[in-house]
Amino acid sequence: MVRFLLRRAILAAMVTLTVLVVAFALTRLSGDLAVSIAGPNATAEDVATIRKNYGLDRPLPMQFLEWAANAASGDFGRSYLYRAPVAGLIKDRLPITIGLGLSGLTIALLTAIPLGILSAMREGSLLDRAIGLIALIGQAMPSFWLGLVLIIGFGLKLQWLPISGVDTWDGYILPGIVLAFSAIPALLRLTRAGMIEALASDYIRTARAKGLSTASVVLKHALRNASMPVVSVAAVQLGFMLGGSIVIETVFALHGVGYLAWESISKNDFPVVQAVVLLLAMIYVGLTLIADMMNAVLDPRLRAG
């Protein structure tokens, strides 16, 4: 168990280092930063001043080392756009993004797992096909469109839920549903496939031969073995929700990290871009590590390796 975790942790550290380099390199590759900061009306002198002030005239390795050292101590520099420390900007927006991602994942899991189990138990039936169809429609539906439909339906017509902002907890429900829809199809199919395989296995026949109740056979004996790929993919999906929810943040007027990333990329606010890319990569790495740990808890055979 210790060796397994140690190996995963070393791998995670290496991935983080790589991302650090890539995040830095990408912003430098996207054009002359001094020119874009100075703006279209700036003179050559202005550009030169900016280049000197921001340290952009120094060799790249120097710039990188300085940035990495500062980042390690939590200092990501200042945003050109907001004229404020990047760390503070992200700290303000992170709770919204995390709240959004967690509500999206919760709704997705609460929908996908029971439907996947039902589908697997009635494989080939009308119910199974209906559930498959719903998953397909969910996958095909553009999230901005679904978001607008939900806003019109539940927000404006029925007036049950707020249509924008997260001043109260129920503000997370509609955007959470929209986010969940993109994750449900994959989670549902994985649950279904895993459960079909598990239910056909010899140990399930044994469990039934022992006279266990259907609930115990399905939820205890089959689901545990079927849940490992679901855990891994759910972790990736959560990472995706945390980083890729720009469209939904825009539709529901939520100013989270996704919105900040989009804004800073379009305005070439490179300290923010670097920090957000690094943050999201760290989140992915962290989530994968958590998923590995959860799988090691679920499957004793992994702990030995």
**232 part of the interface to other proteins, by CB under 8 A:** no
**209 part of the interface to other proteins, by CB under 8 A:** yes
> Which residues, 6+ apart, have CB-to-CB distance to 161 below 8 Å?
154, 155, 170, 171, 173, 174
Instruction: Please select the residue that binds other proteins; options are 70, 225, 232, 250, rule is CB under 8 A.
Output: 225
**129 part of the interface to other proteins, by CB under 8 A:** no
Stretch of 93-101, 108-116, 157-165, 221-229 lying at the interface with other proteins (CB under 8 A): 221-229
What's the closest the beta carbon of residue 207 comes to other proteins, in angstroms?
7
From residue 71 to residue 110, the character string flagging contacts with other proteins as x (rule: CB under 8 A) and all else as - is: ----------------------------------------
Nearer to other proteins, 56 or 302 (CB): 302
| Distances, alpha carbon 33 to alpha carbons 12, 68, 88, 110, 246, in Å | 31, 18, 22, 45, 24
Instruction: Please select the residue that binds other proteins; options are 139, 216, 232, 250, rule is CB under 8 A.
Output: 216
Instruction: Please select the residue that binds other proteins; options are 65, 69, 224, 253, rule is CB under 8 A.
Output: 224
What's the closest the beta carbon of residue 124 comes to other proteins, in angstroms?
9
The CB density around residue 185, as the number of other CB atoms within 10 Å, is: 19
Closest-CA residue to 218 (of 110, 123, 132, 118): 118
| Binding to other proteins in span 25-64, by CB under 8 A | none
Stretch of 55-63, 81-89, 136-144, 203-211 lying at the interface with other proteins (CB under 8 A): 203-211
**219 part of the interface to other proteins, by CB under 8 A:** no
Q: Are 122 and 162 in contact (CB under 8 A)?
A: no
Nearer to other proteins, 25 or 298 (CB): 298
Q: How many residues bind other proteins (CB under 8 A)?
A: 22
Instruction: Please select the residue that binds other proteins; options are 212, 236, 246, 293, rule is CB under 8 A.
Output: 212
Instruction: Please select the residue that binds other proteins; options are 164, 201, 232, 250, rule is CB under 8 A.
Output: 201
Stretch of 62-70, 154-162, 209-217, 249-257 lying at the interface with other proteins (CB under 8 A): 209-217
What's the closest the beta carbon of residue 86 comes to other proteins, in angstroms?
45
Closest-CA residue to 7 (of 303, 212, 281): 303
| Binding to other proteins in span 263-302, by CB under 8 A | 298-301
**197 part of the interface to other proteins, by CB under 8 A:** no
**210 part of the interface to other proteins, by CB under 8 A:** yes
Stretch of 38-46, 199-207, 248-256, 266-274 lying at the interface with other proteins (CB under 8 A): 199-207
Which positions touch other proteins (CB under 8 A)?
201-203, 205-214, 216, 221, 224-225, 298-301, 304
